[in-house]
Amino acid sequence: MLLEQPTSILSKIYPKGIFRKNPDEHAVYLTFDDGPIPEVTPWLLDILDQYGVKATFFVVGDNVRKHPDVYRMVVERGHQIGNHTFNHVRGMRMRNHDYIDNVKKCDSLISTRLFRPPHGVLRRWTYRYMKDDFDIIFYDVITRDYNEKLKPEKVLEIVKKYTRNGSVIVFHDSLRSQKNLRWVLPKAIEWLKEQGYEFKQL
């Protein structure tokens, strides 16, 4: 529970952070971290097109630099873009100014107000510095699709167990997650549609 769905303690640490959207609205927000990469992103875009779903992609700047054509595919298909730092850096392991510079380096390629910290944590000083310039997006449900020890059935179970009105749901656009993602994502979208959820962007 502490991993799949964050506690209210984190919302007190990051009071302007977005963990969940309107709890009175029967809608969910699909997000995908760590891309774009040619091995996964085009397939992912095709699945989203197939189901008529628009999502938010929190991209790593260095991947945008290496794969500009794949990044353009995400934008051209109408998906929202968020900043996930240039090098997928850990906020608790860097000096604050170095971390901010890494965020700005990514922003120079994509220019967005949306930011999600890798691993879901920021130093308080960094958070205070960034909160007025960015909408800092955390999550309400993390699927743990990146965990290669988890069977895809378990990942789908996480989606079904923790999703609720306004959930911001995290999947990963990465090599590490692709085995689980390819099995889970279509089934998760179908289940969410069966439950009557509307798919929205942040």
**What residue ranges define each of the domains in the chain, with the CATH number in brackets?**
30-199 (3.20.20.370)
Instruction: Please name every residue paired with 83 in a beta bridge, in sequence order, or none if there are none.
Output: 59, 115
145-157: pLDDT as tens digits: 999 999 999 999 9
The pLDDT value given to residue 1: 46
Full-model pTM? 0.96
The pLDDT value given to residue 2: 53
111-135: pLDDT as tens digits: 899 999 999 989 999 999 999 999 9
Q: Are 136 and 130 in contact (CB under 8 A)?
A: yes
Instruction: Please name every residue paired with 57 in a beta bridge, in sequence order, or none if there are none.
Output: 32, 81
| Closest among 61, 68, 85 to 134, alpha carbons compared | 85
Q: Cα(51)–Cα(87) distance, rounded to whole angstroms?
A: 31
CA distances from 69 to 15, 41, 42, 116, 154 (A): 37, 11, 10, 23, 33
Q: In the chain, how many H helices and how many E strands?
A: 8, 8
